Every structure is written in structure tokens, then in C-alpha cells.
Structure 1
Amino acid sequence: MKKVFIVFLAAAGIMACKGNDKKASVTETIKDSVTAQTTPGQELPDTASNTTIQWLDSTYLDLGKQKEGKEIELTFRFRNTGSKNLVIQNVSAQCGCTIPEKPEKPFAPGEEGVIKAKYNGSGHGETRKEVYVTANTSPNAHTLTFRAELVK
């Protein structure tokens, strides 16, 4: 009986130590996360100048059947629904077959604008492409998607 008690006591001690390591690990993870977010010299996002955006049309365009190799022009309309100027910081595409245009001017509250893109129609059959927009909004990343069935 004495041996069983000693084994039980040893197991309880080991379990208690495991819990402390886990707490220390969680504490270290949180500390590392906070440190990583506030590294000296790193700029923090300026959320004071954030605004809101409303996409006036869908962020998903179904272009249906399109002739293979024919250039397709796309437009995604938006409105600044916030109280600060809307600045489109970056517009990029998933691949070189889609060339988006970044609006250069800021959009005042209530003002509407357009993100334009040209797709070269390369490929055959079903295709789905994405245009990525970064702006002073929260969240700051927006994905605009289009699909087409390319036929000869």
C-alpha cells in the first residue's frame, strides 16, 4: 500500500509540474506576441485615418461565356461610406493575365469610385481570377473575384 501511495504522489507531482510548464508556455507565447507586435522601429497601422467602403456591385463578377484571347474589361464600383478620405493604397492581381488600375486620388466621404482591370482572356475553359485591393479601411484587404468560361 505504501508503494502505491508513493507512485500516486510521484504521478501527482509530475502532473502538477506539467501544468506549470503549460502556463509558462502560454505566458511566453502571449509575451512574444505582444513583443512581435511592438518591435521598436516598426510602424503601427494608423487606424485613426481608417474609413469604410461599400462595394456598389458584387465583389464577384460572373462574366459567362467569353471568346478565348479577347481582352475583357472589368469594373468594380465602390463608395466611401466613412467620415475620412478613402485611399486605395494598392491594387494587384493574382497573375500577369490581369492588369488592374489603381485609383491615384483619395475619395472624400460619400464619393464613388471604380477599380478597373483588364483580363487578356488567356486560357481555355473555366477560369477564375482575383484582384486584391488594399485601402485605409478595416479590414484593409479586399478581394474582387471574376470568373469566365473561355470558348473558341
Structure 2
Amino acid sequence: MKKVGILFTLLALVFAFNASAQEATSGAAITFKEKSIDFGDIVQGDKVSHTFELTNSGSTPLIISNVAATCGCTVPVWPKEPIAPGKSAEIKVSFNSAGKMGKQNSVVRIYSNASEPIEKVSLISNVLPKTN
């Protein structure tokens, strides 16, 4: 009788684990075409921008609740409406190098209802001094 109880307990654990694993893989998911772009050398005061393409590779609509940059020199623009499963969208990020010098890595955080709730993309550049 004790063996039957152990067997039922093990089966219950297996089913519970399987259900939680399926739950973790369902929902919205973000897949980026690329997560960073390197502009190389730019001159102080230059403005550069890049459009990051993303796809909702999950099974439910993706809702981006916020996109935040590490400083005021980086400005993101993102879709406010839900992104259906299998559909794509764009996040445009602009970087203003005024007042910056040297290697820059402007990180943008994307907050959403995806299985990974915080994703990051970045604009990389090396800001050179202006020559008169």
C-alpha cells in the first residue's frame, strides 16, 4: 500500500511539473532580428538612430508596457498597441552624442508581458571630438 501512495505522489509531481513547463512556454515572447548595433566612430554632436525589428514568437498578444533608456541622450519610440502572435513591430531608438566622448553603449530596456519580461537592446558608438 505504501508503494501505491508513493507512485501516486510521483505521478502527481510529474503532471504538475509538465503543466508548469507548458505554462512557462506559452504566452508572449520577443524575438529580435538583432539586439545591438555598432555605429563605430561618430563625431561629437552627431545624432544616430536605428530601428530594432522584433517579432512576437509566442502564443498570446505581446504588450510592451514601457521602454526606458539609460540616459536622456537616448530616445526610444515603441508600439503602444498589442502585437499579435507571429506579427512583427519596430522600436526606433535615437542617440544624441552632444556632450559625450569616447566609447558609448546606450542601453534600452523593454518591459513587457513576455516570458522574459525585461529585454535589452543597445546602440554602441565611439564619440570623437569635433574638429573645427
- Scaled by the length of structure 1, the TM-score of the pair is 0.64
Match of 2:45 among 69, 87, 96: 69
Once residues 76 and 106 of structure 1 are traced to their aligned partners in structure 2, the CA distance between those partners, rounded to angstroms, is: 17
Unmatched tracts of structure 1, length 5 or more? 1-46
Higher relative contact order (CA 8 A, sep 6+): 2
- The alignment's C-alpha RMSD in Å is 1.8
Q: Greater helix percent: which structure?
A: 1
User: Is the aligned partner of 1:142 residue 2:119?
Assistant: yes
Matches of 2:86 and 2:41, distance apart in 1: 35
Q: Deviations over 1:86-125 (max 9, x none)?
A: 1111101001111111211111111111111111112122
Aligned position for 1:101:
77
Aligned-residue sequence identity (percent) comes to: 32
Listed one character per residue, the Cα deviations across residues 29-59 of structure 1 (whole Å, up to 9, x for unaligned) are xxxxxxxxxxxxxxxxxx8x83111111x21
User: Displacement of 1:148 after TM fit?
Assistant: 0.2
8 Å contact from structure 2 (residues 109, 120) kept in 1: yes
Regions of 4+ moved over 4 Å? none
Largest Rg, 1 or 2:
1
- The number of residues matched between the two structures is 105
Cα distance in 2 between the residues matched to 1:59 and 1:124: 23
The one-letter amino acid of 2:74's match is T
- 1:116-152 alpha-carbon deviations (Å, 9 max, x no partner): 1111112122111100101111110001122101122
Taking the aligned partners of 2:113 and 2:83, their CA distance within structure 1 comes to: 11
